[in-house]
Amino acid sequence: MGNRNPWEEIKLDDYENHMSLSSVKQLQAMNAIMKEQFEDYPVSSAMVLGVAGGNGLEHVKSAKYQTVYGIDINEEYLQAVTERYKNLDGTLKCLKIDLINEAGKLPKAQLIIANLLIEYIGYDVFKKAVQTADPDYVSAVIQINTDEKQWVSDSPYLHAFDGLDEVHHQMEEKALEKAMAEIGFSKILRKEISLPNGKALIRLDFHTTQGA
């Protein structure tokens, strides 16, 4: 082993600056989506897989949530999140977990939020993560290219993402639905958000069909 995950090498500044450029607009779009993800379901615990710098966590209301887990492989990201969201002290718990190798270490949560994450871990790892956390609801955002060009939008920060090609999987909506159905989740929501540069974000929400 010994190979570091490329996500451990990407500086948070590079990631966030790239994501928020006007041509990308993803950080802003994701923030609006996360507000809805946190508000839409009757849950008191949530888990954000691939929390990065914590974009969207300002929508966590401590009156609603007892616990929100921020999961990431990158220690620097988690330290930044803890620093930025001191107001969520007692609610927010940041955990360094490498999902590809350690999905079995995840705690339980009623809602899983996984935005632009499944691309990097693949369906099988994601299924294992979901089964371990045992949520009632899963809300995932995937990016689809509506044009055929490269999947990372062109920006001055592009070089920062060079290592990601080896871990990136192109997402297919139907394949995700099938993977979720295999572990007992049915789709309850689909929402498409267009981005400026021939890409779209698709939000897919699932509810467990096991028990009631």
| Average pLDDT over every residue of 87-116 | 96
The residue with tokens 């969520």 is 88
Per-residue confidence (pLDDT) for residue 33, from 0 to 100: 96
In sequence order, what are the beta bridge partners of 113? 48, 139
Which band of pLDDT confidence, cut at 50, 70 and 90, is reported for residue 146?
low
Which band of pLDDT confidence, cut at 50, 70 and 90, is reported for residue 21?
low
Per-residue confidence (pLDDT) for residue 136, from 0 to 100: 98
Which band of pLDDT confidence, cut at 50, 70 and 90, is reported for residue 29?
confident
Regarding predicted confidence, which is higher, 133 or 175?
Answer: 133
The CA-based angle 136-27-48, given to 5 degrees, is: 25
Which band of pLDDT confidence, cut at 50, 70 and 90, is reported for residue 1?
very low
What one-character-per-residue DSSP string does the chain give?
--PPPGGGTS-HHHHHHHHHSTTT-HHHHHHHHHHHHHHSS--SEEEEES-TT-TTGGG--TTT-SEEEEEES-HHHHHHHHHHTGGGTTTEEEEE--HHHHGGG----SEEEEES-HHHHHHHHHHHHHHHH--SEEEEEEEEESSSS-SSPP-TTGGGGGGGGGG-----HHHHHHHHHHTTEEEEEEEEEE-TTSEEEEEEEEEE-S--
What value does the mean pLDDT of the chain take?
Answer: 85
Per-residue confidence (pLDDT) for residue 50, from 0 to 100: 93
Which band of pLDDT confidence, cut at 50, 70 and 90, is reported for residue 203?
very high
Residue 114 has pLDDT above 70, yes or no: yes
The CA-based angle 58-62-99, given to 5 degrees, is: 65
Per-residue confidence (pLDDT) for residue 14, from 0 to 100: 73
What residue ranges do the domains of the chain occupy? Answer: 6-208
Residue 3 has pLDDT above 90, yes or no: no
pLDDT digits (tens, 9 = 90+) for 160-194: 555 545 545 566 889 999 999 999 999 999 999 88
Residue 68 has pLDDT above 70, yes or no: yes
Per-residue confidence (pLDDT) for residue 51, from 0 to 100: 93
- Please give the CATH number for the structural domain made up of 6-208: 3.40.50.150
